[in-house]
Amino acid sequence: MPRSTLNTLNFGLALGITFGLGALFLGLTSWLFNYGTAWVELIGTVYIGYSTTLLGTIIGTIYAFVDGLIGGIVIAWFYNKLQGRG
């Protein structure tokens, strides 16, 4: 059976976009509807500046994208190493 590999950059971008959209959605629902504010405050302890405001939502979205990008690249790199392809 052929072994598959992951494109590290593409996987990182996919995870970064997913994390970023999640943070954006959570921040907007917290800002607009006051729903999920406890989660935003909790995540804001790691993503400095992430808060229940429009600017805070943008800051958190950027942090989440970068976090997902780096995490995705690392995960794909480890996966490829374990497959013997990296």
Closest CA to 66 of 51, 79, 47, 81: 47
Map out the domains of the chain as residue ranges.
8-82
pLDDT of residue 36: 96
- C-alpha 44/C-alpha 55 separation (Å) is 13
CA angle 9, 12, 14 (to 5 degrees): 110
- Give the confidence band of 4 by pLDDT, cuts at 50, 70, 90: confident
* pLDDT tens per residue, range 39-56: 999 999 999 999 999 999
Sign of CA dihedral 26, 27, 28, 31: positive
pLDDT tens digits, one per residue of 57-82: 999 999 999 999 999 999 999 999 99
